[in-house]
Amino acid sequence: MELHPKFWEFTLRLSVAFILGAIIGMDRTYRAKDAGFRTHILVSIGSALMMIISQYGFEDLVGVDTTRYDPARIAAQVVSGIGFIGAGTIILQKHIVKGLTTAAGLWATAGIGLAVGCGMYAIGVVTTILTLLGLELFPLMFKNLGIHTLIVQYSTTVYSNIKSINDKISQTNAHLVSFSTEKIVIDNKETYRVNIVVRSINSVTEREIINYIQQLPDLLLEKVD
């Protein structure tokens, strides 16, 4: 496997894309957004790789009659076409988006396949290593930085408890993703059954919210996920 003359420059480009994608992604993760640092890393290095392939992947065809075929066109179709597969992995469940990282991983993997397909084996290996770093090692280094989703269902006969809980969530800098309440009658008492979905950036916040809910009077905590 012969290295491309610009192999180290390509490696630098991918590494910078990795770092910049991680910086933006960490900001999104800190703000408890759906697309975190892993997703941003994958999209960033995948885009950098595909640009490298676009610029240098077809050098051996320079001066060759390409009237009957156009490999660059095929590569472009792969880049856009893989998006349909990625879209199929993204689902919205209980106001929570799942599958973004998987979709970004598929897109980056498509770029790796294109790199190998056009003979850029070494740069495909480098991108694979960076992808695994972004998916596995990076989260271990920043294990306290991540999105935690808490689903809580409770019942209370005191309406002011609902406001107290929502105020507590705001005070902890957690994000109330969804909120629904239903008024029912139990033993001739008006009871409010509430379902909330909360997103936070650490598990300590989750425990703080649960402990607060449990200590409120006339309240039954029914479900915690």
Q: Which of 40, 38, 7, 36 is nearest to 21 (CA)?
A: 40
Q: What is the pLDDT of residues 49-73, one digit of tens each?
A: 888 888 887 776 666 555 455 666 7
Q: What is the dihedral of CA 169, 174, 178, 183, to 10 degrees?
A: -10
Domains of the chain with bracketed CATH: 7-141 (no CATH), 148-224 (3.30.70.260)
Q: What is the pLDDT of residues 117-173, one digit of tens each?
A: 878 889 889 999 988 888 887 777 766 556 677 888 999 988 899 999 989 888 887
Question: Using CA atoms, how far apart are residues 134 and 140, in angstroms rounded to an integer?
Answer: 10
Q: What is the pLDDT of residues 114-132, one digit of tens each?
A: 888 878 889 889 999 988 8
Contact 157, 222 (CB under 8 A): no
The mean pLDDT of 4-21, rounded to a whole number, is 88
